[in-house]
Amino acid sequence: MRILITGALQAHCECADILTGLGHSVDFLQNEKDALPSVADCYEGVICNGLFLHHPIEDFVNLKYIQLTSAGYDRVDMNYIRDKGIGIFNAGGVYSIPMAEFALAGVLELYKQSRFFWDNQKNQSWTKHRGLRELYGKTVCILGCGSVGTECAKRFKAFGARVVGVDLYPREDESYEKIYPFDALDGVIPDCDVLVLTLPLSEATRHIINADRLALLSDSAVLVNIARGAVVDTDALINELPRLYGAVLDVFEEEPLLPDSPLWNMDNVIITPHNSFVGENNNDRLLGVIKRNLESLV
């Protein structure tokens, strides 16, 4: 196959070596917004992230294979993919470990008042805080029990938390006390101390955490969003945050987060720039996924 690799894959040089070793020819496009290095119809395979947000997928008339560098499929027209019988693969499992570590760290930052102590350190202020919380014994709900959600569940469970899940496909899993179906969500939320969002974005999940569901959270609850920004109604969240214990937000409905967003100035909110997926072992995991997926097409 002739395969186009974009700069969304950091390890593109290593990947090109693997692909040529498997007998494929490779072109490279650093920025997915730029003009293609050749005509689109010459490519049978593409390794990318948001390439089809900038180039019509219909122009890739000979496309047989797409490897996404993201875990989500929301930047691709999946109806078109299915209609054309194109093989598509995501980066499932590649980013799960760093994202799970990030979710746990964010909750602990809030519980252990890291911002308070950091400010005191800068000011050389020896001041104790008597309101620190324990994760032990808390109820953590994972909404979306795929690879990322399950890695989160393992880590919260290791801290002695009670971990439950909510998923479209409930199952038995030792990482969870129980996984509930989606229609049980409103009954699960009120008991959550921590609600972690790891579900994919679709029309069904857009604003799944809305004003009504946010109102079900207790005043002591923490919301963690490492999924997609649009699974949460931002305006509703802003309205509820003064009541909640806090939120850990790595993704937003509009990115970058606008400078005038009230979220920036909320003391109980941790904001990061869609960065939770970063880890030093990602490239090795992703290259392994790419190699296995390509070999499966043979």
Q: Which domains does the chain have, with CATH numbers?
A: 2-94+280-297 (3.40.50.720), 96-271 (3.40.50.720)
Q: Tell me how crowded residue 273 is: count the other CB atoms within 10 A of its CB.
A: 11
Residue 139 binned pLDDT confidence (cut-offs 50, 70, 90): very high
Q: In this predicted structure, what is the pLDDT of residue 246?
A: 98
**Identified catalytic residue from 75, 228, 243, 292:** 228
What's the predicted TM-score (pTM) here?
0.93
Nearest to 286 by CA among 73, 12, 72: 12
Q: How far apart are CA 150 and CA 92, in angstroms?
A: 12
**Cβ distance 111 to 133 under 8 Å?**
yes
Expressed in angstroms, the distance from the first to the final Cα of the chain is 11
pLDDT tens-digit profile of 179-197?
A: 999 999 999 999 999 999 9
Question: pLDDT for 222-275, tens place per residue?
Answer: 999 999 999 999 999 999 999 999 999 999 999 999 999 999 999 999 999 999
Catalytic one of 274, 285, 292, 295: 274
The one-letter code for the residue type at 286 is L
Q: Which of the four pLDDT bands, split at 50, 70 and 90, describes residue 296?
A: confident
Residue of 12, 255, 285, 295 with catalytic role? 255
Token pair of 15 as six digits: 């990947």
Whether 274 sits among the annotated catalytic residues: the reply is yes
Strands across the sheet containing 222-225: 178-181, 162-167, 139-143, 194-197, 222-225, 246-249, 269-271
Q: For the chain, what's the residue count?
A: 298
14-40 pLDDT, tens digit per residue, is 999 999 998 999 999 999 999 999 999
Q: What is the DSSP letter of 166?
A: E
Structure tokens at 38: 């050749």
Does residue 255 carry a catalytic annotation? yes
Annotated catalytic, 174? no
In the structure encoding, which two tokens stand for residue 184, read together? 């049980």
Distances (CA, A) of 107 to 79, 95, 117, 156: 37, 19, 15, 10
Count of CB atoms situated within 10 Å of the CB of 40: 17
SS3 25: strand
Q: Are the beta carbons of 132 and 253 closer than 8 angstroms?
A: no
